[in-house]
C-alpha cells in the first residue's frame, strides 16, 4: 500500500528556512518520479519541484535557487529544503508520486498524494 506522510511545516519569519520531509512506504522512492506541490487558499495546486528516478531535478521558475528537492533512498524519504522564504510561500505543501520514472511537474502526472504539511511565512 502506497503511503506518503509529510512533516516539517510550521510558522517562520520572512527570510527563514524550513526543511520538509515525506516518508514513503509501499514502494522505493528511487524508482519513481517524486515531487512537491503546494496550494494556497483560493488558488490552484502548483508544482514546486520534481526529482525523477535518475535523480534529475526540475523546479518551478520562482523556486529556482531558493528550494532544493532531494531524496534519501536508504530512508525512503523525499525532502524539500526551502530558504529565503517569503509570505507568498505560505501554503499547504504536498508530496506526490508519479506512476512514471520520468515525468513533468504537472499535477496530472501524479497519482498518489500525501495529506500535506502547512507552511506559514510572516512578514
Q: Any idea what the Cα angle at residue 120 is, between residues 119 and 122, rounded to 5°? A: 150
CA distance 115 to 96: 10
pLDDT tens profile 99-116: 998 889 999 999 999 999
pLDDT tens profile 29-81: 999 999 999 999 999 999 999 999 999 999 998 777 899 999 999 999 999 99
Radius of gyration, alpha carbons of the chain: 13
Amino acid at each position: 500500500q502506497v503511503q506518503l506522510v509529510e512533516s516539517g511545516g510550521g510558522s517562520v519569519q520572512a527570510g527563514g528556512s524550513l526543511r520538509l520531509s515525506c516518508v514513503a512506504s509501499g514502494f522505493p522512492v528511487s524508482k519513481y518520479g517524486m515531487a512537491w506541490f503546494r496550494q494556497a487558499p483560493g488558488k490552484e495546486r502548483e508544482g514546486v519541484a520534481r526529482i525523477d528516478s535518475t535523480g534529475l531535478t526540475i523546479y518551478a521558475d520562482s523556486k529556482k535557487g531558493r528550494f532544493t528537492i532531494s531524496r534519501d533512498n536508504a530512508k525512503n524519504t523525499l525532502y524539500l529544503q526551502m530558504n529565503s522564504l517569503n509570505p507568498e510561500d505560505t501554503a499547504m505543501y504536498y508530496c506526490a508520486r508519479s506512476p512514471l520514472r520520468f515525468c513533468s511537474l504537472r499535477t496530472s502526472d501524479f497519482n498518489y498524494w500525501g495529506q500535506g504539511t502547512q507552511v506559514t511565512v510572516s512578514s
